[in-house]
Amino acid sequence: MTNDRRVLLHQNKHALAASVAARFLTNMVDVLHQQEEANVVLTGGSVGIAVLAAVNESPARDTIDWSRVNFWWGDERWLPRTDPERNELQAREALLDHISVPPENIHAFGASDDAVEAGTDALDAAAARYTAELLGRAPNGAQYPRIDVMLLGVGPDGHIASLFPHRSGIREREASVVAVRDSPKPPAARLSLTRPVINSSDRVWLVLAGSDKASALGLALAGASRDEVPAAGIKGRYRTVFFVDNDAAAQVPESLIAPGY
């Protein structure tokens, strides 16, 4: 199978979320038919959480054996565990608390109120713990699991996960997880998967809606540098799909939009 990069256009945010949810459920059926378990990386943001809510509302939700699905996150805000701005909490409320997924299959990033050893930098320690958790689920010789679906949002500046333009995170080549201390959007402290992990995924699905994303999307598809527009440096092993609404697609050449969308 070769990599395929495409843009799928939807009328509005609601239609976008419903489409991604339906495709996700179908994909999980296919993946679990072919292998024992699946690894999915979730994203935050209004569209990412809307997708999870649409999965929860789908009549097909309970056709999936969720006990065979592992959930990870692309990034997390360094906040207390119960802070409503945490991607983990939003994902739990939208989907994870409503399905039969074992607690050990939910791989959340550390939180700022987790206990750490005295003298240990908490953010670095959390990055190290998540690195170890990824390694613990990896096949022999790998640093992280085989990821079946990587869901990503895209910021107005083109950032993905917590990898921002002109910051060191997007240039990281070795580490699986980075501690972010200089995020240009609050909170400044975050944890994020790196580009090597993201690009190791079989399928990368970038979901974005709104006119404020149009410039970043246009630049990413036009071949901007990953340092300038991090989304431009993202490419899954088999398939990379940009799920967008009409407003976000304002600067996408018609030739890049998949037929029928």
Do the Cβ atoms of 213 and 246 come closer than 8 Å? no
pTM beyond cutoff 0.85: yes
Distances (CA, A) of 97 to 50, 132, 151, 155, 183: 15, 25, 19, 27, 29
pLDDT at 2: 45
pLDDT at 261: 52
| Domain residue limits, the chain | 4-256
pLDDT at 118: 53
pLDDT at 117: 58
State which CATH number among 3.40.605.10, 3.30.950.10, 3.40.50.1360, 1.20.58.1290 fits the domain covering 4-256.
3.40.50.1360
pLDDT at 255: 75
Positions of the chain with pLDDT under 70: 1-4, 117-120, 259-261
Tell me: the pLDDT tens digits for 156-208?
Answer: 999 999 999 999 999 999 999 999 999 999 999 999 999 999 999 999 999 99
> Rounded to whole angstroms, how far apart are CA atoms 86 and 96?
14
The contacts found for 32-37 with CB under 8 angstroms, 24 or more apart, are: 32/64, 32/65, 32/68, 32/69, 36/68, 37/68, 37/69, 37/70
Instruction: For residue 244, give the nearest of 216, 203, 202 by alpha carbon.
Output: 216
